[in-house]
Amino acid sequence: MYMNYKEALEALRRLDREYRHLTHVLALLQWDQETYLPKDGVEDRSEQLAMLGGMAHGHLIDPGVGKYLREAGVTEENPAGDERLSGEDRDFLRVFSREYYKAVKLPPDFVRYAAKTEGLSQAAWAEARQKSDFSFFMPHLSAVVEIAKKRAQYWGYGDRAYDGLLDIYEPGMTEGDVRAIFDPLKIRLKELAERVTAKGPRPSVFSGFAYDSGAQHQFSLKLMEYLGFDTKRGRLDTSAHPFTTTLGACDVRITTRYLAENPLSGIFSTIHETGHAFYELGMSGSHRGTCLGDGCSMGIHESQSRLWENVIGRGTAFWTGLFPLLRSYFPDQLGSISLDAFIREANRVALSPIRIEADELTYSLHIIVRFDLERRLFSGGLSVEQLPHAWNTLMKELLNVEVKNDKEGVLQDVHWSMGSFGYFPSYALGNLYGLQLWKKLCADIPQVDDHIAQGKFDTIREWLNQAVYRWGRRLRPEELLTRATGQGLKADSFMEYLEKKYTKIYEL
């Protein structure tokens, strides 16, 4: 049947809507698994996830999709389709066809083999980590690296497989682009970290107290409200690892976790995930529930969570307004702690072999270690067997940390076991994107610190909405950043921010 380009577009919009519904149902299955699933329910849940996942994939690569794309004027060379369409429609086609081509280029047998191998690898990683024995995990990791190389080849990135993997998380960014930023950054970070640690370690002011998790949860709920989270469109629960997930156009859920000995972990997880949720909920209404209703890139998404967590949430202005409330939840524990001492605690630098325990200053160094190793894994300069030694050497070199064993070293993160190579850089890029945006925001809203101290966040959110949220995936990361700040990605704003902050806190 003949169909004109407009009809083809409508057909694709319907298919996309159905595909998003399936991905949201998958997200609910996963959210429930992390929050409320009874222990023995996990076996059926994996089967449900596998089945729905297969159905969603089948929906995306349905032969009808390719036909409609052609009729809408889409080719790989012209992914935005017919030029008579509006800018938003063309962005829709560009983003949707990108997902389609990524999916359809992988042969079904390969997809099945990859899913199975990566599943087994993740299980082997968990066991190896528990035993702190890399050799047990090694053959699985080798297989997963080969799969990642193959995947990049199918997508058509030729020899430079790592560029193909980076592109999943940071569209358009190459290994060369990342090195050009990370290489000078690591020198500046290392130098600053050395100046801070030369001041000697600071003990935690929280030690010796217990913080009831019920009270922590009540405070976290208040905190979300204080930040302006709309609970008609989302909720807060707890899980082993905090995350944000989108289950529908008006249903974005976050999780946090509470440590009995330290309330900061729960507080900053809640703020971090609230930052992700603001982005998801801030996207233009016509994008939410479509392929455009997603983050522009992993790095840009991470920039939003880190802005709220670190730049806003760990600042003196923020706690000027909020510390009395926190104290009212924990009068015995915090009654004698001053606002200044609390801020120092929230920004304490403590060298750790573990990424997720790292402070704002050393965190990006942990990322650079991983980036350096994974790019060398894919260029052939490093074998899987050499990984633990190379890991420990880099940790010593960049962070001056002695890694005691594989569990605290190369086995600490789940990402590689699942085949997620090229993902780590986003975390550090998020810091850089975030501070570059923040510097411009501060120039546009000079009284921002007063607003924060008053608990008035709407001006900040409105600025972020204009610059970031509303676009969804319409803009590519570089485009979004240049539009908002007038220049491409640089590490300068981030480093200036860190230097100023730690000079003050550590009296450098």
254 with 292: CB under 8 angstroms? no
Dist. CA 152–CA 371, nearest whole Å: 17
Binding mask 24-63 for a second copy (x = CB under 8 A): xx--xx--x---xxxxxx-xxx-xx--xx--x--------
Site for a second copy, residues 142 to 201, rule: CB under 8 A: none
Binding flag, residue 218, a second copy (CB under 8 A): no
Dist. CA 317–CA 464, nearest whole Å: 19
Task: Give residues with Cβ within 8 angstroms of 243, minimum separation 6.
Answer: 34, 254, 255, 273
Task: Give residues with Cβ within 8 angstroms of 245, minimum separation 6.
Answer: 27, 30, 31, 252, 253, 254
* Token pair belonging to 384: 């899987």
Binding flag, residue 248, a second copy (CB under 8 A): yes
Task: Encode 248-276 in three state secondary structure.
Answer: ECCEEEEEECCECCEHHHHHHHHHHHHHH
How many binding residues for a second copy (CB under 8 A)? 35
Measured from the CB atom, is 61 or 166 closer to a second copy?
A: 61
Binding flag, residue 225, a second copy (CB under 8 A): no
Integer angstrom CA distances of residue 315 from 281, 308, 340: 25, 10, 10
Measured from the CB atom, is 249 or 435 closer to a second copy?
A: 249
Angle, in degrees to the nearest 10, between helices 363-379 and 387-399: 150
Of 7-15, 220-228, 231-239, 431-439: span binding a second copy (CB under 8 A): 231-239
Min dist CB 465 to a second copy, Å, is 18
Binding flag, residue 232, a second copy (CB under 8 A): yes
Q: Which amino acid is at 260?
A: A
Task: Give residues with Cβ within 8 angstroms of 508, minimum separation 6.
Answer: 195, 196, 199, 502
Q: Which amino acid is at 38?
A: P
The catalytic position among 71, 273, 280, 374 is: 273
Binding flag, residue 250, a second copy (CB under 8 A): yes
Binding flag, residue 286, a second copy (CB under 8 A): no
DSSP-assigned beta bridge partners for residue 235: 253
Of 189-197, 244-252, 366-374, 463-471: span binding a second copy (CB under 8 A): 244-252
Measured from the CB atom, is 45 or 344 closer to a second copy?
A: 45
Of 16-24, 181-189, 215-223, 369-377: span binding a second copy (CB under 8 A): 16-24
Min dist CB 220 to a second copy, Å, is 16
Q: Which of 303, 346, 342 lies closest to 494 in space, CA to CA?
A: 303
Binding flag, residue 13, a second copy (CB under 8 A): no
**Cα torsion 170, 171, 174, 175: sign:** positive
Q: Which of 6, 13, 21, 257 binds a second copy (CB under 8 A)?
A: 21
Return the residue matching tokens 């920039």: 303
Min dist CB 161 to a second copy, Å, is 35
Cα Rg for the chain, rounded, in angstroms? 23
Measured from the CB atom, is 77 or 232 closer to a second copy?
A: 232
Q: Which amino acid is at 147?
A: I
Active site residue 479: no
Measured from the CB atom, is 170 or 251 closer to a second copy?
A: 251
Min dist CB 248 to a second copy, Å, is 3
* Token pair belonging to 210: 């217990």
Min dist CB 32 to a second copy, Å, is 6
Q: Which of 167, 175, 177, 251 binds a second copy (CB under 8 A)?
A: 251
Min dist CB 235 to a second copy, Å, is 5
Footprint of a second copy on this chain (CB under 8 A)?
18, 21-22, 24-25, 28-29, 32, 36-41, 43-45, 47-48, 51-52, 55, 231-235, 237, 247-251, 253, 289
Active site residues: 273
